[in-house]
Amino acid sequence: MLPNRSRRREWLRRLDRIAADLNILLLMFAIGLALLDLTFIVTQQVIDRLPQVTRVVYVDEPAASPHSTAGQSNSP
């Protein structure tokens, strides 16, 4: 009976040590996600305060006809 109780205590100690390590890991994940969320909120506030951007659209020039391109001769 004594060895069984000793095994159980050792198993509970190991489980407690694993749970403590897991709690530290979960705490680091929680802090990281909170910082990511805070960064997102701050960037949204900064973007909302920026002035509006004027869009410039470049229109392609119409294609020149193949017979009137510059630098090419029309002779056969």
**What distance in Å separates the CA atoms of residue 16 and residue 58, rounded to the nearest whole number?**
65
Residue 32 forms part of a structural domain = yes
Which of residues 36 and 4 earns the better pLDDT score?
Answer: 36
Specify the DSSP class assigned to residue 50: S
Residue 38 forms part of a structural domain = yes
Residue 19 forms part of a structural domain = yes
Residue 67 forms part of a structural domain = no
How confident is the model over 8-60, as pLDDT tens digits?
999 999 999 999 999 999 999 999 999 999 999 999 999 888 888 777 788 77
| Phi, psi of 8, deg, nearest 5 | -65, -40
Residue 66 forms part of a structural domain = no
pLDDT number for residue 59: 78
Give the range of the structural domain holding residue 35, as residue numbers without chain letter. 2-51
Residue 33 forms part of a structural domain = yes
- Degrees to nearest 5, angle at CA 9 with 7 and 12: 110
**What distance in Å separates the CA atoms of residue 16 and residue 18, rounded to the nearest whole number?**
5
Residue 75 forms part of a structural domain = no
Number of domains in the chain: 1
Residue 45 forms part of a structural domain = yes
